[in-house]
């Protein structure tokens, strides 16, 4: 019989309910995981999960949940500012932990979390489900195949046009586009860069359509020796988004979005031999040659396009790690590199802090 991992979810907001609880109730996961407890300081938000999971316990105070001996895995779906402290509490209480993104806003907090993982010896994983996006995995496959030649630049644009006025617009909540949406494309970008620390980071942030004081427009450039330049946008000011991904190579180019990809390339063995000519070309002409170009196309399956697909894939990967000792797809040091970049971006763009908590208590009750 397959081992069942008993799950307690802290938070039943958009992530805790609509992403985690929803996915764990799906057929592919509900034979491996069982939701046995949920916690939320707003009792009404626990109702749907309680109805869908007979016997599931409800806790208005997450600290009471952390005394429940029937839980194997805590899913930390609290607000961003609480990710580090609540994860540490759960680790110290003896639980394995899956934490929502962002891991933290500062490297110092990442270090505190890492110390807690080492001190307790407990299992810790980050919820970076975009690593499992079919489009991203196909892009990496095409790049690794070599058909595009040496990759010169990767451009990514996770843009939209939107006005926002919830807590995800407030600096004191560790919010803003880079800490909210940003962990998804940034995780992919660092992988496509070759999983190395950038040598140079240049970032410009702006507040445009937000009602809070955190950024909602980000332009980020990263470079590293012998690695492709990364050009990343996360903006709420773009009404037209023809391409999410653009990959420039010495032999070809790839363009695409979350649904489909197209790439065009030539084969060097078929190209006419050329050599540098230092004198003016005869006939005052521009360099011209006939190259044979090849085009290929890929389209995601309908299943791969479903919102919950990446979540299911991450939880299957998590199950193999928890039960069978498989190495996690998303490693702690990879997410730490992501937070290093995010912290540097904020250092370069010190925005005025216009809002403060209504009271000094910032932890979830």
Question: What is the tens place of the pLDDT at every residue in 224-236?
Answer: 999 999 999 999 9
* Strand, coil or helix: 308: coil
pLDDT digits (tens, 9 = 90+) for 117-135: 999 999 999 999 999 999 9
Does residue 69 sit in the same domain as residue 178?
Answer: no
What percent of the chain clears pLDDT 70, i.e. is strictly above it?
98
Helix, strand or coil, per DSSP, at residue 164: strand
At 365 the pLDDT is 29
54 and 86 in a single domain? The answer is: yes
The residue out of 79, 110, 127 marking a domain boundary is 127
Asked if residue 224 lies in contact with residue 194, where contact means CB atoms within 8 angstroms, the answer is: yes
**pLDDT range class, residue 242, cuts 50, 70, 90:** confident
E strand intervals along 66-197: 73-76, 96-100, 124-127, 151-157
> What is the DSSP secondary structure assignment for residue 15, as one 8-state letter?
I
Report if residue 179 sits inside a domain.
yes
The answer to whether position 77 is within a domain reads yes
Query: End of a domain among 252, 284, 305?
Result: 305
Helix axis angle for 83-92 and 107-120, nearest 10°, is 10
Whether 364 has a pLDDT exceeding 60, the answer reads: no
For residues 94 and 207, state if they share a domain: no
Question: Is the domain of 169 the same as that of 270?
Answer: yes
Mean pLDDT within 206-218 = 97
Query: Under a CB-based contact definition with an 8 Å cutoff, are residues 174 and 357 in contact?
Result: no
Residue 262 is predicted with a pLDDT of 98
* Joined tokens for residue 333: 């040091």
Domain membership flag for residue 242? yes
261: domain CATH number is 3.30.360.10
Please indicate, yes or no, if residue 146 is contained in any of the structural domains. yes
Nearest to 363 by CA among 24, 87, 5: 87
Domain membership of residue 245 as a residue range: 132-305
Assigned domain for 324 exists: no
pLDDT band at 258 (very low <50, low <70, confident <90, very high): very high
Q: How does residue 19 score in pLDDT terms, banded at 50, 70 and 90?
A: very high
Residue range 328-349: mean pLDDT, rounded: 98
Q: Is residue 269 one of the residues assigned to a domain?
A: yes
- Structure confidence at residue 6 as a pLDDT band (50, 70, 90): very high
Report which of residues 99 and 361 the model is more confident about: 99
For the chain, what is the domain count? 2
Distance CA 107, CA 342 (A): 9
Q: How far apart are CA 197 and CA 341, in angstroms?
A: 9
Q: Looking at residue 54, which CATH number applies to its domain?
A: 3.40.50.720
Q: What is the C-alpha separation between 195 and 41, in angstroms, rounded?
A: 39
For the chain, what percent of residues have pLDDT higher than 90?
A: 93
**In the block, residue with structure tokens 């980050």:** 126
* Residue 225 CB neighbour total at 10 angstroms: 7
Cis link prior to 102 (omega < 30° from 0)?
yes
C-alpha distance across the termini of the chain, in Å: 38
Separation of alpha carbons 365 and 360, rounded Å? 13
The structure tokens listed for 331 are: 């490693």
pLDDT in tens, 150-191: 999 999 999 999 999 999 999 999 999 999 999 999 999 999
What CA–CA distance (Å, rounded) separates 44 from 46?
Answer: 5
Positions of E strands within the chain:
5-10, 33-39, 57-59, 73-76, 96-100, 124-127, 151-157, 200-206, 217-223, 229-235, 245-249, 252-256, 260-266, 293-299
pLDDT of residue 361: 44
CA distance 177 to 169: 8
Mean pLDDT, range 65-83, rounded to an integer = 98
1 band by pLDDT with thresholds 50, 70 and 90:
low
Structural tokens at position 106: 């500062």
**Distance between CA 103 and CA 335 in Å, rounded?**
7
User: Comparing C-alpha atoms, which of 10, 53, 61, 48 is closest to residue 33?
Assistant: 53
What is the per-residue pLDDT for 358?
A: 78
Cα 268–Cα 269–Cα 273 angle in degrees, nearest 5: 80
- C-alpha separations of 284 from 278, 279, 287 in Å: 14, 11, 10
**Is residue 360 over pLDDT 90?**
no
* Residue pLDDT, tens place only, 275-325: 999 998 888 788 889 999 999 999 999 999 999 999 999 999 999 999 999
Interatomic CA distance for residues 316 and 301, integer angstroms: 19
């Amino acid at each position: 019989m397959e081992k069942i991992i008993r799950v307690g979810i802290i938070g039943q907001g958009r992530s805790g309910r609509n992403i985690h609880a929803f996915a764990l109730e799906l057929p592919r996961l509900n034979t491996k995981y069982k939701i046995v407890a949920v916690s939320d300081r707003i009792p009404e938000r626990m109702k749907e999960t309680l109805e869908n999971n007979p016997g599931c316990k409800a806790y208005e105070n997450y600290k009471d949940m952390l005394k429940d001996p029937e839980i194997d895995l805590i899913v930390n779906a609290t607000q961003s500012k609480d990710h580090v402290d609540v994860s540490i509490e759960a680790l110290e209480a003896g639980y394995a932990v899956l934490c929502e993104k962002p891991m933290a806003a500062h490297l110092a907090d990442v270090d505190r979390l890492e110390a807690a993982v080492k001190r307790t010896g407990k299992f810790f994983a980050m919820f970076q489900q975009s690593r499992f996006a079919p489009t991203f995995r196909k892009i990496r496959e095409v790049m690794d195949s070599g058909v595009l030649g040496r990759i010169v630049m990767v451009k990514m644009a996770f843009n939209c046009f939107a006005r926002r006025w919830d807590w995800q617009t407030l600096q004191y909540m560790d919010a803003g586009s880079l800490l909210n949406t940003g962990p998804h494309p940034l995780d992919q970008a660092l992988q496509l860069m070759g999983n190395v620390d950038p040598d140079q980071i240049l970032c410009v942030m702006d507040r445009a359509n937000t009602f809070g004081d955190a950024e909602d427009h980000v332009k980020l450039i990263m470079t590293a020796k012998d690695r492709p330049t990364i050009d990343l946008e996360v903006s709420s000011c773009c009404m037209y988004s023809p391409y999410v991904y653009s990959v420039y190579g010495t032999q070809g180019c790839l363009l695409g979005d979350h649904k489909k990809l197209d790439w065009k390339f030539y084969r060097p063995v078929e190209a006419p031999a050329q050599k540098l000519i230092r004198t003016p070309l005869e006939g005052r002409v521009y360099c011209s040659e006939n190259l044979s170009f090849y085009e290929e196309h890929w389209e995601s399956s309908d299943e791969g396009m479903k919102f919950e697909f990446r979540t299911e894939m991450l939880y299957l990967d998590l199950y193999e790690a928890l039960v069978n000792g498989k190495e996690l797809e998303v490693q702690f040091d990879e997410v730490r590199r992501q937070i290093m970049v995010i912290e540097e971006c904020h250092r370069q763009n010190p925005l005025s802090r216009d809002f403060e908590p209504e009271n000094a208590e910032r932890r979830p009750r």
